[in-house]
Amino acid sequence: MVVVRRKDKKGRVLLSGESQRKDGTYQYRYTYGGKRETVYANNLNELRQKEKDIQELLDAGLNYAAGMIDTIGLVAKYVNLRQGVRYSTRIGYQFVSNILERESFCRKPIRDILTSEAKAWMKKLFYEDGYGYSTLTAIKGVVSPAYRMAYEEDIIKKNPFDFDLSGVVPNNAKPRQALTDEELTDWLDFVKNDSTYRKYYDEFIVLLGTGLRVSEFCGLTLQDVDFHARRIWVERQLARTRSGKYYVEKPKTKNGVRYIPMSTEVYESMQNIVQQRYSGGPEIIIDGVVGFLLLDQNHRPKVALHIENELRWCMKKYQKQNPNKKLPTITPHVLRHTFCTNMARSGMAVKNLQYLMGHSDVGTTLNIYTHSRYEDVAKEMLNINVVDTNTEQKKRKIG
């Protein structure tokens, strides 16, 4: 029996599943998940590259089902399923993936990974490779949900990364500290009176007086500032990719869309920012948004890096001029942290503070951003009259 092999118009033998269409293009048909699928290509070389990619996916699927996929492949599968994530999240995924690629541990089949081995790997990254606690948290924050996915689909019997990292390695991450009243006064006085950096004073006042995330501040437009009602409307963040492309996205949490009232200081600083804003040319439109409040020296919208640099430059000059009055590193997040802590110390109800901060979980407001100091505790405790001595004396007289 003679087997006749199908050929294309150029006389090249076509493989199983391949065919040439009437218009000269090519197609490849295959079965995946019990369904017939088809891919198309302009030429045979392009089609066969697609076939190769498809086969790799099919092989990976078989390996995944058998638990033979490794941690690198598992994380890649998990990341590919995460659609619509933020640019910063994608960068984080890539950062973790780059670390995994260098680790021999991550090439073992996931079905063979024990919790003790996962813990030992975390220790190795910390003690031998020198990764900090924050980096390990980022790695575990991607690897653990990937393994959870495999567990929920019955690929593995247990998620080996389902453990508390702080019980495996010490938490050496530096806790965020709010600026003290004295530190804040020293620093603001310096900025306000410095001939070079006082132009940034109003921006710092707004961050300190609103608790805005820096990317939310950069995302504000002229239309978002209501001077009549003395409030700011927050509904977006402005950021920029490493390649320099601007993009607009929603606030970090669903509660991030909110109004923020303006104090007298913030109101005045906002007026200064608007009055000094360049308005002599066409406005840049980014994802349909126009009229951004903060512009750089080239009249383009500012992003977080601009304000981070402003703070760093100010800090450098301050420390040089005040060697005996050291300040902690001041970042936009430290200003947000300071705002939240000061609001809490002033007695603001926690649900109101949660609203202002745009937190989705009140636990974040309580556990991360607010810290008690001995001075605050002592002051409040001594103002509370636990025992009413007059009442006690009355009881004795009656008795």
Return the domain boundaries, the chain. 18-57, 71-167, 181-380
- Name the catalytic one among 140, 306, 336, 345: 336
- Name the catalytic one among 77, 86, 176, 252: 252
Tell me, yes or no, if 213 is annotated catalytic. Answer: yes
Strands 18-20 and 26-32: antiparallel
Q: 177 to each of 209, 262, 267, 348, 369, how far by Cα in Å? A: 17, 24, 26, 19, 9
Q: Which residue, among 285, 303, 300, 298, has the nearest Cα to 217 in the 3D structure?
A: 303
- Name the catalytic one among 231, 258, 333, 371: 333
What is the gyration radius of the CA atoms in the chain, in angstroms? 30
Give the predicted TM-score (pTM) of the model. 0.71
Burial class (CB in 10 A: 0-12, 13-18, 19+), 34: exposed
DSSP, residue by residue, 224-237: GEETTTTEEEE--E
**CB half-sphere exposure, 205, CA atoms < 13 A:** 21
Burial class (CB in 10 A: 0-12, 13-18, 19+), 61: middle
Q: Are 360 and 373 in contact (CB under 8 A)?
A: no
Show pLDDT as tens, one digit a residue, over the chain (399 residues).
555 678 999 999 999 889 999 999 999 998 765 678 888 999 999 999 988 877 776 666 656 777 788 899 899 989 988 877 888 888 999 999 999 999 999 999 999 999 999 999 999 999 999 999 999 999 999 999 999 999 998 889 999 999 999 999 999 877 778 899 999 999 999 999 999 999 999 999 999 999 999 999 999 999 999 999 999 999 999 999 988 999 999 998 888 999 999 999 999 999 999 999 988 888 999 999 999 999 999 999 999 999 999 999 999 999 999 999 889 999 999 999 999 888 888 888 888 889 999 988 887 777 655 555 556 556 656 666 555 555 455 445 545
Class level of CATH domain 181-380 = mainly alpha
The contacts of residue 64 (CB under 8 Å, 6+ apart) are: 73, 74, 77, 150, 155
Q: Which residue, among 254, 252, 214, 220, has the nearest Cα to 234 in the 3D structure?
A: 220
**CB half-sphere exposure, 29, CA atoms < 13 A:** 7
- What is the rounded CA–CA span in Å between residue 289 and residue 287? 6
Distance of CA 240 to the CA centre of its chain: 14
Tell me, yes or no, if 252 is annotated catalytic. Answer: yes
Q: Which residue has the tokens 């079965």?
A: 31
SS3 state of residue 172: coil
Q: What is the pLDDT of residue 81?
A: 87
Q: 394 to each of 252, 273, 388, 389, 390, how far by Cα in Å? A: 58, 62, 10, 9, 6
Q: What is the pLDDT of residue 98?
A: 95
Tell me, yes or no, if 359 is annotated catalytic. Answer: yes
DSSP, residue by residue, 332-354: HHHHHHHHHHHHHHTT--HHHHH
- What is the rounded CA–CA span in Å between residue 127 and residue 169? 9
Q: Which residue has the tokens 């990976």?
A: 60
Q: What is the pLDDT of residue 394?
A: 46
- Name the catalytic one among 28, 78, 201, 213: 213
The CATH code for residues 71-167 is: 1.10.150.130
